[in-house]
Structures are given as C-alpha cells and as structure tokens.
Structure 1
Amino acid sequence: MLLNIVQILLDVASFIIIVQFILSLLISFNVVNTTNEVVRSLDRGLTVITEPVYRPIRRMLPATGAIDFAPLVVLILIRILDLAVLPWLYGLAVSAG
C-alpha cells in the first residue's frame, strides 16, 4: 500500500517536471507570455514546487551556462527509483510476509 503511494507520487513528480519544462520552453520561445496572469501563476507555482528539489542538484552539477540539466537529472533519478528501487522494495515486502 505504502509503495503504491510512493509510485503515484513519483508519477506526479515526473508529470510536474515535464509540464514545467514544456512551459519554460514556451516562455523562452515567446509562444506564451508571462504578462498573462495564468501563465505567470502557473510558472511561479511550478517553480515553488520544483526548486527545492533542483537546488541541491544544481550545486553538484558543473556550470553549463543557459542549459539547466537539473530537471533531467531528477527525471533520471525518479526513473531509477521506479525501475530498480521500488521493485526491490516490493520483493522485500512480499518475502517479509
């Protein structure tokens, strides 16, 4: 049960990161504008959610200029948790009874 909740949270986190990435591209290429209150609120909200996760990763990554690899690193870590750690934990839970 608890592992299913963790699985759902990982899926939601992945979705949020992908939406933020797409929104940042749309803002960068001026497809949508931050003068729009909805766009600005969505961007600000997604930043507030993701920044605490990105900050420690950005400190570990080398400076790459304008390209931010922190979202990619987080998505890779989520995928590793999803494909390797959670199945291992499921196995431990099943064998423990």
Structure 2
Amino acid sequence: MSALIWSPFADPDQARAVAKALLEEKLIACANIVPCVVSIFEWQGEISEAAEVGVLFKTHADLLDDAVARIEQLHPYESPAIIGWQGKSVGVATGEWLARLSGGA
C-alpha cells in the first residue's frame, strides 16, 4: 500500500538534504520538491505569511511512521508541519515500485 507525506521547508537546500537522507535510508522512493509555496498560517497567536518549499514524499505504508519520525528529526523547523497518510488507491506500477521499499514485490 502506498503512503504520502507532506512537509514545507524554508528553502530548496533544506528540502533536498532531507529528501536525500530519506532516500539513502530507504524510507522513501521519491520526493517531489515544489519550489514555491505560499504558506499563510497562525503561529504563536499571530497570522503570518511565508514563502516556503513544499515536499511530497512517496513511500510504502509500512514505512510511513518511520519516515515521518525521521523527517521530524531532520527538519530544521522548531515545530515542523509533517502530515502523512496512506493511499487507498495506487497505480500498479507505482504500487510495485513502493512495495520494493518494504521488501515486497
């Protein structure tokens, strides 16, 4: 089963470093780095806006919790937004590709 994780970063270098670490550790199969995300958020009682870099990490559902925990360890933000969820539908080729991460297929 597939899983996705979304997390914003301050800049492309931070995003790339975390993505490469997770790839090397075999916790994800791919990371899509979205170069310009405008985030509007409430933080410490104030509404703020920031330009960030979004990352969509692709993994197998068996690795989801470990990947989220590792992103949290590596993320440079004090309180990073990291959201992971299992995909209920996946293309055959993508499912096979992600299954190889967890020792399947």
Shorter-chain TM-score bucket reads under 0.3
Max Rg structure: 1
Return the TM-score normalized by structure 1.
0.21
Bigger strand fraction? 2
Higher helix fraction (1 or 2): 1
